[in-house]
Amino acid sequence: MSVNLKKLQKEVIRNKLEKGFDMTDVALEFCRAHEELSEAFSKYNKGQDGVAEEFADVMIFILGMCENFGFDLEKELITKIEKNKKRKYRKEKSPNGKDIFIRIKTPEDP
């Protein structure tokens, strides 16, 4: 099954407008997306069901913001995933001994 994110962006906005949601407070939209991600982590951390649904809530806010900002999230995702594939990293240790990955900057990807 493939998903048309542009279509979903439009569906999200249509539903929010039908329900009367006010999306004019951009800072609040960012906060609500973050809130949904925190809900996902909380459920995951407690071993509760519903993590995937919270991820869907995060995406609904992101899809809505993308539509309102005129972004094409599907295009951005494809571009960014390809960019990430080409990135190189070096591994170092953090002060507490954990592996950390430092991106190696290149002229093509400063």
Nearest residue to 99 via CA among 107, 89, 91? 91
Nearest residue to 16 via CA among 81, 60, 75, 59? 60
The minimum distance between CB 35 and Mg ion, in angstroms, equals: 8
Residues in the site for Mg ion, rule: CB under 5 A?
A: 36, 39, 54, 57
Nearest residue to 8 via CA among 84, 64, 76? 64
- Identity of the residue, 57 or 67, whose beta carbon is nearer to Mg ion in the bound complex: 57
Residue nearest to Mg ion (CB): 57
Contact status, residue 67 vs residue 17, Cβ threshold 8 Å: no
The minimum distance between CB 76 and Mg ion, in angstroms, equals: 23
- Identity of the residue, 55 or 74, whose beta carbon is nearer to Mg ion in the bound complex: 55
- Identity of the residue, 50 or 72, whose beta carbon is nearer to Mg ion in the bound complex: 50
Which amino acid appears at position 76 of this protein? E
The minimum distance between CB 57 and Mg ion, in angstroms, equals: 4
